[in-house]
Structures are given as C-alpha cells and as structure tokens.
Structure 1
Amino acid sequence: MKKRVLSLILALCTVFSVCFASLPAAAAAGSSKTKYSFDKSGIDYQKFKGKGVSINVYNWGLYIAEGEDGGMNVVKEFEELTGIKVNYTMYATNEEMYAKLKSGGAKYDVIFPSDYMVGRMIEEDMILPLDFDNIPNYDRYIDDSFKNLEYDPQNLYSVPYTWGIVGILYNADLVKKPVDSWDILWDPDYTGDILMFNNSRDAFGIALKRLGYSMNTTDKKQLQEAAESLKKQKTVVQAYVMDEIFDKLGAGEAAIAPYYAGDYPLIKADNPAIEFAVPKEGTNRFVDAVCIPKDCNNKEAAELFINFLCDPVVGYENFLTIGYSSPNKGTYDMLPDMYKKNEALYPDQQVLDNAEGFINLDTETNEYTQQLWTEVLSDDQHVNKWLIPIFITAALGASLYINISRTVKKRRGTYK
C-alpha cells in the first residue's frame, strides 16, 4: 500500500539526539545469531535444518531490517536459526504484487499485502488459511486490537506486520493557518505549495472524508462529488506525488502534503520545520499483513518465517529500520518512551476511533473510481497554467527518479 523508507532510528537520532546506549541491548547487538535471544517456545525452528528447504518471500522495498549500521539482518538471522534458505524479492505496489501472483508468473511462500488487498485475495481464493499452531507468537504477542479486522474478519488468512495512519505534513515556517482539517489541501492561500497523493485510493479517501463520507463508499453520487472536489483542488496543487514528497518537503519546495505517519520522522530529519497533524474529519488507519499464497511451495516453512517476524526482538529491529508502527505488544514494550509518546507513530484512542481502514471494494466500484481518477488527472480546466512546466519537468525526471530513489534513501541512512 505504501512506498517504504529506510532507517528510522538514524532519522530520529538526528531529530531527537538519541543516545544508543539507552536502547535495549538486543537493539544494539550485531547480526550474529549468538547476540539475539528469540522466543522459541512452542515451535521447532530446527525442523527443516539440513534438508535443503527454501522459501520465496515477496515484500515491499525497504520493508525489513537488512543489517544496517550493525543492526539485525532479519533474513540472515532466520536462515541461521532454521537452515531454511530465503529467496527475497521486492515489489513497489499492491497491484504489482497482485498482478504477478494472478498471472502465475512466479510462486511465492510469503507475501505482504495491505488490508484491502488481503480482502481481495481472500475473495478471489488466492491465499491460504494459516495454521496458527505453527505461529504461536501470534497469540502470544500480537495485540488483540489488530485481530479480526474488516479485511479478514475471522482472522484465518493473515498476520498483521505493521500499521499506521495518514495525516498532513506541513512546514510550520510557511504554513501559519491552523492545520486541523483536510480543507487546507484545498486552500488557495497555499497555491503551488500543496502536494497530493498520486494514487486513487488515498486521494479519493481524503476527498470523501472531507465531504463527510466513508472512505469505503460504493455510492456513485458520493464518488462523483469527490471527483469534482479533486478537480477543483487541481488549481492549488503543485504536483501529485508518492516518494517524491521526501525531497520536496525536505528541501522546502512544497509546504503541505498528506502522507503516511511512519515517514514523518525521516522527513522531519531533513527539515525540522515539518510537523504532523491528523484532520478532525478522520483519516485512514492502514495495516500491512503477512499471508501465504495458495500455490506456495512450503507452507509450514513459510509459517515458521511468519512466526519469526512476530518475535518481539525481530519486530523491534524492523521498527527501527522501516519506521512503521508495530502491532506487536512485546515490541511496543521494548520501545523507549520517545517512540511511544510520538503521536504520529502511536496516536491516541480518539484518533483511532475516528479513523477508518480500507476494505476491498467490489469490481464495479473499483473500476468506476479508477475512471473518475483518470478524469481528475486529465482535467485541464482546473490546472494553473504556470504549473505546467513543473509537470513537464517532473515527467521528464520520473524515470530517473524511480531508478535512483531507493539508492538515495539507503545512502541517507549513512548520514549522521
């Protein structure tokens, strides 16, 4: 669902001057198997040792701890613990992952779809029910508030991996009006300084919430009203972005943008003037989960990997690397207070009660929404002509940006 980012711990060091000596010993340890203590109760991690077993894992880019700065390399730790070889590849969007599985072009044992995509894959019989006897860490550590959610109501097919909310990032040096409503993304006083999501689900979700509707509406009149609102917004929007937000907000090239809370600390590290606000109309709470495709090669070995991901120490290392909130109670208990008190990462219950998760919508609604989104993007009547050169430049640079963005982000992780 989201484009992912690099090491949050380095970003927060820059912002808050964190002393690594204050972190739990496990977090400061290296990647040797002797330096971490995993919960092995109720599971035989040695079952496949020496049997030449391998699993294929398909995850978002930059969405697991890879051993940066002496931290844990999750895949290597699992391989050393179990003897199971992990073939690890990455994707950029839910739709890319879905299309690859749907085409039968490759077989995977573990995937990481977002909430609404889990629902879609359940509906289309693309993922298997899990044997939770092989995932004892689920009952032991996953918070009950992340069980039996809308996309998997019987909790048969998925284990939550990360979660977060969407809010408004803004430059407090440039934005002097109160930021407490989605309305600010339509404010003509900030024409040319506003960024907007470059995907239909998030963009329509914001427009619908602003209008007082559900993000999961199937009412065509409400969707049409949201589309008209997004067309009017084009007069103030500088650009439609995803990961480009890091450079634009970080460098002060834009002042306001909706984005994912997990990325806020990293952007603030680039630009200390950046703040985060949750609109009063409500927002999206998303969950990314772990599932097993129906045509997997080794289901039990895949379940061992999922159980390993549910270990609090693994969750802690993943949190430090990718920055998104953990549904793991054991991981949360390990966090220093500076993380727990960060309202972007762990918002209060009032915010969560006013948030809404995406669910899988019917095919007709999805197709209609995509049709409306195409109309929004192609609408010329509501475009400021002076912004056209920006769009042209962005288009020319898009290919280069996509190719180098991950490299740049990894490089940022080395800056102290």
Structure 2
Amino acid sequence: MTTVLRKLLPLLLALCLSPVALAGETLRVLTWPGYADPDWVQAFESRFKVSVEVTFVGSDDEMWERANSKAFDVIAANTAELQRYIDRELVVPLRLANVPNTQQQSARFRSTANIPGITRKGVPYAVPFTYSAMGIIYNRKLVPKAPASINALWDPKYRGKVLAYNGSSHNFSLAALSLGVSDPFHLSQPQFVQAENRLKQLRDSALVFYSKPEQVVELFRTKEVALVWANYGDQQVQQLEKAGADIGYVIPKEGALAWLDCWAVMRGAKNRALAEAWINFTLTPEVSAQLTARQGLANTLASGGGGGARPEDKLIWLEPVEDYPRRTQYWEHLMAGSDKAR
C-alpha cells in the first residue's frame, strides 16, 4: 500500500494544485532579476489560471525592507539572510510534500540539514534554487596547471597579476580560509587580526580589486592577468569564455565560499499552496535549464546543474558573520592604504 501511495503522490499533488483550485488568485513574488523571467511568469499564469506580480530588488537591504511590508507571498533570499527572516517570523515552514520537484535536486541540496540557515529545529523553511561558488579562475596561458589552493592568490610569482574582489565581509572569510580557520564567518579576536594582516598582503600584491564582473573581462583584454578570485563565480566564467579568454575554473582544496539563493513562503501569503506551486514550477528541468543558460548561474537539479562545482567539491555556504560593521571599517582602512586598520 505504501508503494502505491508513493506512486500516486505526484498525481494527487497535481490535483490539489490544479488550475481550478487556484484560479483567480494573484501570486506576489519578491525576487532578484533573472529569477522570474516574463516567459516563465506567463507559463505559470497560463497553467494555473492566476496572475503573478513580480517585484525585483537589487540588494539584500532592499529585500529586507520590502519583505517587512508583508505584501508578498514568496521570496528568494540567500542562506546568510534567511535566519533573520525566520527570527522575525516573516517566513513559514515549507510543506515539502507540495514541492515534489525537490526530489529531482542533487543530493547536495536535498540534504537541507547540511545547509546552514534554511532549517530551524529540523524544520525546513526554504528550498535551494540557484547558487554560485567563489572559486578561482586561472589564465591557461600563464597558469598551465590548475591551482590547488586558495593560497595561490598570495603566491609571489603571481604578484601584480591577481584580480581580487572589493568586498569586506567575503574577503575576511577568504583570508580566514587561507589561514586554515575552520569557521570563516565567526572570527575570534586573534583570528581577525591574522585575517587583517593576510588581507594587507593581498592588497599589496593584487593588480586590482574589482567590483563588477564586467571589469574582469576588460582587464583580461588589457592587462596580464593570471588569477581571479571569482566572487561572481559561474557568471564570470561564462562572460570570459564568451569574450574568448582561455581560462579554467577550480574549487580549491580548502573549499569555496558560495552563496545559495532559496525560495521561501511569506507568513502573509494569501495562498500557501499557490506559493508552493511557484517554487515547484521553478524546479522543473525546463526553467532551471533556462536559468543556467540565460544567467550563467548553476541550478540545483541533479541533471544539467551547470556551474563549476562538482559533487565532490567543497562548498562553504555563506552565513552571517560576527561583526559586519567591523569588517567593513577595517577593509576600508586597508583599501585606503593604512597598514593598521585600527
């Protein structure tokens, strides 16, 4: 009997989420550009006979501000941010039985207990949708063998040929990983000082600290670049390959920091079933494949996930850090040329 019910479950869910059950509703989606393309929205509206209102944001701060208005049904937030949404009770536990396409995700993403930030007391509050690992891009003409370690960014032979990212929080975590710190998001005072000194070394040896991925493409054209710490991961790989750069991409042995955007249902959702139907829809092979092809972002499905991360690669999902303002202050001092950011 159990086997029969398991086989019938997808059909029963389809009936529960049928267009008749949801007809006339309006789904309010708060998300990032590229996560709700017009043709996807149109297909969802046609399938469920509903309307979809999409609001795009450009930063985590804007996402937080809008989410607090409680005027949305479903939201896409990263794992480093989700905990405060759960703390504020802005999102509700997910009924994974209503999101059967999670069974098509790779094992890395089905094991939600191993992803910090998306569960609370063993209860899932979000479903992974897309991610990007901050690996290392290397110029095959200057670096014939893929670098194995993060510490290649500090290798004297690449002095003046490294592009690093101009970001305070991520850079302290990167420096901590290079020093062998097991938890790069919660640094003790001695670890913080060590990371600060490590970043000073990187500052003095890097060619440029970039902010946008397009800058890296231009620098590849005009400068001698050996290594890039790829804050934008697969998107940068795609851009450089399209520009004709002869590059490789690697996840170092220490692991790579990685952001993971997840769908969650807002507490104020007018129809939880409709919100869950949207999440399930975005996990179809068709939509997920288009996400990768259009945005250069890896999706979470077991087939055609795209991206540079292999199942055996170590990804370190971003978490809230011990002190955002402190990291920002110290980084700004370092970038201003101060040897001691105190």
TM-score (norm 1): 0.68
SS at match of 2:308: coil
Question: 2 CA distance for matches of 1:246 and 1:88?
Answer: 31
What does residue 4 of structure 2 align with?
none
What does residue 94 of structure 1 align with?
60
Matches within 5 A, 1:293-332: 293-329=266-302, 332=303
2:81 counterpart letter in structure 1: M
Which structure has the highest strand share of the two? 2
What does residue 7 of structure 2 align with?
none
For residue 359 of structure 1, the aligned residue among 311, 316, 319 is 319
Deviation string 1:177-211 (CA, Å, 9 cap, x unpaired) is: 76222223234544443222222232122111101
SS at match of 2:13: coil
Query: Is 1:271 equivalent to 2:231 in the alignment?
Result: no
Question: 2 CA distance for matches of 1:315 and 1:188?
Answer: 41
Q: Which runs of 5+ in 1 are unaligned?
A: 1-38, 67-72, 383-416
For residue 241 of structure 1, the aligned residue among 211, 224, 235 is 211
Instruction: Indicate the RMSD between aligned Cα atoms, in angstroms.
Output: 2.8
Per the alignment, do residues 144 and 281 of structure 1 end up closer, same or farther by CA in structure 2, a change over 3 Å counting?
Answer: closer
Question: 2 CA distance for matches of 1:180 and 1:64?
Answer: 36
CA drift at 1:212: 0.7
Task: Work out whether residues 250 and 270 of structure 1, in 8 Å CA contact, stay in contact via their aligned partners in 2.
Answer: no
What does residue 31 of structure 2 align with?
59
SS at match of 1:212: coil
SS at match of 1:47: helix
Residues matched between the structures, number: 319
For residue 336 of structure 2, the aligned residue among 378, 393, 396 is 378
Question: 1 CA distance for matches of 2:118 and 2:293?
Answer: 27
Task: Work out whether residues 217 and 223 of structure 1, in 8 Å CA contact, stay in contact via their aligned partners in 2.
Answer: no
Task: Work out whether residues 168 and 276 of structure 1, in 8 Å CA contact, stay in contact via their aligned partners in 2.
Answer: yes
1:167 counterpart letter in structure 2: G
Per the alignment, do residues 308 and 252 of structure 1 end up closer, same or farther by CA in structure 2, a change over 3 Å counting?
Answer: same
Taking every aligned residue pair, what percent have the same amino acid on both sides? 22
Matches within 5 A, 1:43-192: 43=14, 44-47=17-20, 50-51=23-24, 53-66=25-38, 73-102=39-68, 104=69, 107-138=71-102, 140-146=103-109, 147-148=112-113, 149-153=115-119, 154-175=122-143, 179-192=147-160
Deviation string 1:138-190 (CA, Å, 9 cap, x unpaired) is: 3x323343222221232421011023422111222244676222223234544
SS at match of 2:116: coil
SS at match of 1:271: coil
What does residue 347 of structure 1 align with?
310
TM-score (norm 2): 0.81
1:295 counterpart letter in structure 2: G
Question: 1 CA distance for matches of 2:165 and 2:123?
Answer: 30
Question: 1 CA distance for matches of 2:20 and 2:330?
Answer: 52
Q: Which runs of 5+ in 2 are unaligned?
A: 1-9
What does residue 28 of structure 1 align with?
none
Query: Is 1:231 equivalent to 2:200 in the alignment?
Result: yes
